[in-house]
Amino acid sequence: MAQVVNPADAQRPQEKKEPDQKEEARPTGERLRSWELPPITVVGEPPAELREEDRVGTYGQPRWTATRRFPGTRVYVVPEGKVEFEYWLRPTIERKGPTEVRHLWEIEFGLPYRFQLDLYYRLDQEGDRSEWLAGEQVELRYALGDWGKIPGNPTLYLEWVALEQRPDKVEPKLLLGGELAPRWHWGLNLVAELELGGQKEYEYQVAGGLSYTILDSKLSAGVEVIGLVSDVKGHRGDFGESEAIFIGPSLQYRPLPQVAANVAPLFGVTDDSPHARIFLNFAYEF
């Protein structure tokens, strides 16, 4: 099994370690941003071809996982100590009825022991003349192991959604992700979105993304797919015409190390799907 070695120890005599023992990066007393984290060496694995694939942080994760790679698909947790602000715009263009628009303002925190906490403020509108409805979301993630220790790097995700004039929701997810080859990165999410009142609508979703790095730490492009169905209380398993499948390109551009912009225009490919669901995301790391 791979052993992780802190480069700061490379010049001092090493104590004998068991083959599975990992030496983690030691804190310096100053919080480092994700692009400033020093790479760590994984013994038994070839050196990373790209800087964004360097292993960093206390969990030995690739640097690319420190910043959201896919707008519609989550992967792992951010490194311990990271603080980032994100803004989201997500219009859904319906085949019948008004366009739904969602704004999200998010701040995320990388916590110790492979935890991550995200806090959101949300505004929703159906059609140009309807009122804006507010909401708050609290999201907690926990990665089951350091990066590479478990296939797919499984991460548990739980979100509470409190909505104005609408039933609250709870949203559990299983997050998976990894690297297929140098420059090729993937993510897969299994999602349930459970309404706690009203008709108690339950939505079940699978989301996946594949990304290729064009310019190291600067530009990547790929594809995302989202499929979902839903049912209501008293008719569990009867999905009727609720099926929707979206597919489309995704693009990430990083003009500065602390800034990332993501766009993914996903198009409905079934008769019951909306015409499109578009993800626009801007992130700034403090």
| pLDDT, tens digit (0-9, with 9 covering 90-100), for 239-273 | 988 899 999 999 999 999 999 999 999 999 999 99
Structure confidence at residue 68 as a pLDDT band (50, 70, 90): very high
Residue at 152 is within a domain: yes
| Predicted local distance difference test score (pLDDT) of residue 5 | 52
Q: What is the mean pLDDT of the chain?
A: 91
Q: What is the DSSP string of 18-30?
A: -TT---PPPP-SS
3-state DSSP assignment of residue 280: strand
Q: What is the pTM assigned to this prediction?
A: 0.89
In a domain, residue 211? The reply is yes
Share of the chain above pLDDT 90, in %: 83
Helix H or strand E segment including 58: none
In a domain, residue 130? The reply is: yes
Domain that holds residue 264: 69-285
Hey, how many other C-beta atoms are within 10 angstroms of the C-beta on 185?
A: 25
Please check whether residue 54 lies inside any domain of the structure.
no
Burial state string for 213-233 with b = 16 or more CB within 10 A and e = fewer than 16: beeebeebebbbbbbbbbbee
In a domain, 43, yes or no: no
Our measurement of the distance from residue 222's CA atom to the centroid of its chain's CA atoms, rounded to an integer in Å, reads: 15
Question: Is 12 part of any domain?
Answer: no
pLDDT tens digits for range 197-207:
999 999 999 99
Return the pLDDT at 29. Answer: 65
pLDDT at residue 233, rounded to an integer: 95
The rounded distance, in Å, linking the Cα atoms of 52 and 274 is 35
| Residue 200 covered by a domain | yes
User: In terms of residues, how long is the chain?
Assistant: 286
Give residue-wise pLDDT tens across range 3-58: 555 544 443 344 333 333 344 444 556 889 999 999 998 877 888 999 999 999 99
pLDDT at 127: 84
* Collapsed DSSP state (helix, strand, coil) of residue 44: coil
CATH of the domain at 97: 2.40.160.40
- Element containing residue 183 per DSSP (H, E): none
Q: What is the pLDDT of residue 3?
A: 52
pLDDT at residue 230 tops 70 = yes
Please check whether residue 31 lies inside any domain of the structure: no
Per the structure, how many domains does the chain have?
Answer: 1
The long-range contacts involving 150-156, CB below 8 angstroms and separated by at least 24 positions, are: 151/178, 152/176, 152/177, 152/178, 152/188, 153/75, 153/76, 153/177, 153/178, 155/74, 155/75, 155/76, 155/77
Of 6 and 235, the structure prediction assigns the larger pLDDT to 235
